[in-house]
Amino acid sequence: MENQKKRIFSGIQPSGELTLGSYMGAIKSWVNLQDQYECVYCIVDMHAITVRQVPADLRRRALEQLAQYIACGLDPEKNIMFIQSHVPQHAELSWVLSCYTQFGELSRMTQFKQKSQQHADNITAGLFTYPVLMAADILLYQTDLVPVGADQKQHVEICRDIAQRFNGVYSETFTLPEPFIPKMGARVMSLASPENKMSKSDPGGCVYLLEKPEDILRKFKKAVTDSEAAVRFDPAGKPGVSNLMQIYAAATGKSLEDIEAEFDGQGYGIFKETVGEAVVELLRPFREETQRLLADKAYLEGVYRQGAERASRIAGRTLSKVYKKVGFLPR
Ligand code: TYM
């Protein structure tokens, strides 16, 4: 039975604290899909060093992120959960795939263009070839589905292009993955500047999964809206209000129409407070469970060690196939 399930791969960088955006765009789908698929969920620390990290923080966040995956509802018995740098096949396949990826196609990646502006003093080759490592992550596991937020769609598409090209040259080697992007919460925007994506590097506009309730409520009270005082869904005309509506919808399961009706004739004050409280209640159990798990380091180590072993077995099979196809002499 187990082997007939289709496979999922996805990952998050431990380059900052997990946010409401990464939860609604990715982790929530992971939890929902974990029974139907064989799932591999990674902490992509090798991706994180494409911009400079403080080593001790990176180490701490990798472990905290694992605790948060579990606290959000991912079952470590059911899913393979591991840390990218523990499975060397990721770097190995990435090198091979980089020889089947065009400079031109990497130059068109939106995230590269944005990040190279943000880190203009440190535009490394790693930042540029980042999508190749992400393609290796996905293709190593013969992945069918990649649940991500909308901002990662382009990277899944280039992964498909690389896979297709390789398959074309050497015959069927890689499964072609599809992105899975949730209907609600695929692009959570900043509370402070709703024309920008909520990002871990913007503390004012960002809600962190482990943040204290009073801080979360304060951020929602201060959330930027508009002067119309009508709770109506219109992402272009009313980005702040529409973002809050989507967050509320993703947190409660309510439809956008129901939300418009709920706040009909009411001011933004009560609306923002209600959304803030819904988010506090959504995150409360995650925060408590994360703290409980972090007190048991031995358990978390067990999870990631076993995860790396299981991941490495699958990844090793794909990598051997690839090495044979490109013509490397077996050791
Ligand atoms: P990362 O670490 O930036 O984000 C992790 C996941 O969270 C989603 N996300 C959001 N979704 C909605 N609204 C937001 N504001 C928001 N912010 C983040 C992202 O879309 C992503 O799904 N390259 C990836 C990590 C990665 C990966 C992979 C993903 C490496 N290898 C293989 C899938 C498969 C990244 O930087 O995500």
Query: Could you read off the pLDDT of 299-318 as tens digits, one per residue?
Result: 999 999 999 999 999 999 99
The residue contributing the CA closest to ligand 1 atom 33 is 10
181: left (phi over 0), alpha (psi -120 to 50) or beta: beta
CA of 22 relative to ligand 1 center, distance in Å: 6
Q: Is the CB of 156 under 6 A from ligand 1?
A: no
CA of 155 relative to ligand 1 center, distance in Å: 10
Q: Is the CB of 136 under 6 A from ligand 1?
A: no
CA atoms within 13 A on the CB side of 101: 29
Q: What is the pTM of this model?
A: 0.96
197 assigned to active site: yes
CB atoms closer than 10 angstroms to residue 121: 5
Ligand 1 test: best mutation among 9, 10, 12, most atoms within 8 Å of CB?
12
Q: Are strands 38-43 and 145-147 parallel, antiparallel or unpaired?
A: unpaired
Look at the chain and count its residues: 331
Q: How far apart are CA 115 and CA 237, in angstroms?
A: 27
Q: Is the CB of 190 under 6 A from ligand 1?
A: no
Catalytic residue among 28, 197, 219, 238: 197
Span of 74-78, 87-91, 117-121, 297-301 with lowest mean pLDDT: 117-121
Regarding predicted confidence, which is higher, 269 or 115?
A: 269
Q: For the chain, what percent of residues have pLDDT higher than 90?
A: 94
> What is the secondary structure of 171-224 as a DSSP string?
SS-SPPPEEE--SSSSSPBPSSSTTSB--TT-TTT--BTT--HHHHHHHHHT--
Residue written as token pair 């439809």: 255
Check if the beta carbon of residue 165 is closer than 8 Å to that of residue 134: no
Q: Is the CB of 41 under 6 A from ligand 1?
A: no
Mean pLDDT over 61-77 rounds to 98
Q: Is the CB of 200 under 6 A from ligand 1?
A: no
Q: Is the CB of 90 under 6 A from ligand 1?
A: no
Q: For the chain, what percent of residues have pLDDT higher than 70?
A: 99
Q: How far apart are CA 48 and CA 162, in angstroms?
A: 22
Q: Is the CB of 202 under 6 A from ligand 1?
A: no
pLDDT tens-digit readout, 278-305: 999 999 999 999 999 999 999 999 999 9
113 assigned to active site: no
Catalytic residue among 153, 200, 221, 254: 200
DSSP state of 147: E
The residue contributing the CA closest to ligand 1 atom 9 is 22
In single-letter form, the type of residue at position 27 comes to: I
Q: Is the CB of 28 under 6 A from ligand 1?
A: no
Burial zone of 79 (CB within 10 Å; 0-12 exposed, 13-18 middle, 19+ buried): buried
The residue contributing the CA closest to ligand 1 atom 19 is 149
Check if the beta carbon of residue 156 is closer than 8 Å to that of residue 163: no
Catalytic residue among 115, 219, 238, 272: 115
Check if the beta carbon of residue 278 is closer than 8 Å to that of residue 245: no
115 assigned to active site: yes
The three-state secondary structure class of 12 is: strand
